[in-house]
Structure 1
């Protein structure tokens, strides 16, 4: 038999048995927490027009999209991210009366990453979006909900790094850095490659004063004391407003009682261009990268026709479950099916017994003797 018929392509895998049922159980637990905060379900298409995502990613990342064409010659892509799809949908049908809109979703995303990165190309995501609310309270609700969701999966040892995209963008605007250069610098900072970021800025003849300021984002990490240090170098309104908003955010998160899970890191950025304010990532032992990411994107919905502030997060469920297992966290497994045997003479009785048990919520398998 052909190898192609027996094996999956690189970056995807089969999931079955207990692993598959565990994934469904964890997703249901997280989903119930999202619903408890008043979020409603939404389901958007697996593929979209390329233009839905084109402006929000740089040229290098655009190469990682799975692209194909419809019969009319339009370029389509498998979704690499849910947020632009939901923003498109919400702009069309959900934002008419100006009241806050809360939606939750789950499904797969697709990125044709390099095999050398060791990442899956198909990931199961579950997340939320809160639109029509630009308040610090909305920022805090999002982070507090993320804490609640991660704890519901059994995780207890994790940290959420919180920054603000406005702090970095303010520094770049003050330095007169163009968008292309800003994206290139951000890509290096996101990868924690500050040497490459410094070299790039030197190549583009950026004033050394601003180079030092931008590289200092890597130093503003830790408790709320880090915000005081960041505030001392913020010489522009955008960066200063970002720090002051983070201070207010910390007070609200303290009211939620989740402050022990929070650390500030003003180098937390994203390769996606749409983030405008608070941005955060969740980390835990046993996961090489963030198991959840989120942030504020106040300018994205307007690109689809309806201006509205918004914030959201996504949990990469595969990575969350993998980290939990590496930490030895025990899952609540699905109950084993009860076996009811039958032969030609007693099939009716066996079927009645199986039916009664199923009506009681039991899983029942009929087996021939």
Structure 2
């Protein structure tokens, strides 16, 4: 008989993996990620409640950093709609309340936007320009609502356009998609239960009636008349007849705009700053601008998974929501009545 192997002669067993430690580390990591997400969410809600996130912060841009006299540059970029509207108005209020800010440059690079938002910014600028001089520096595009808000600088303000600026596009548009043929092909038709004949007006799944065309044309005519009025009120060299002649919806080059009286001078932002300094009788100023802290709640929502079916449904429903725009865009559908 062969002898049994002794304990010393048995092959050594491989060491067991520390599974408990590995799972514990993963659990801690998961808890850490959840904690960071929860804290970011609660902080965003805290900021939203107290509105701290809407307060612009001043930063140095150019000029004499030691000067007590400041010129603030307020930028309007992209489509004029939330959050651009609120951020711009907050910047205007900050410049108005800061006694060290002697004048403001409104830097515009926008195709325009929502009618109501454009007028809100215009109104805030009118209040600012009543107590401090405001000049405009137009960048690549200052069209439609971008031109509308520029009128907030008043009769004493001056508009500078870069040599390659496009501006003008004076007019109003209500986007509408005609989906009647698409609806018939896929077997969908409009059958709203409503209390009035205009309640589902602009429904993309049925054609407009003549009454609806007249209704919406009257609405956009009212917004158009307001556009004409703000130009006439704030451009001393333009009367109503001339403005209506220019208000074809087209954009104008810088040279064309200068010839038509829509702008005062062709020049870059530094030319506008120097002109404003001369008006103020200042030689050394500190040029500042305003930044806005990130909205953490919006950032979190962007990284969350999206249900594409819900997104398509939302887009479809929004197609029937009437919105009037002072907007220049080649992608915007035809206006009511076209």
TM-score, length-scaled by structure 2:
0.24
**TM-score, normalised with respect to structure 1:** 0.22
> Relative contact order (alpha carbons < 8 A, sep ≥ 6): 1 or 2 greater?
2
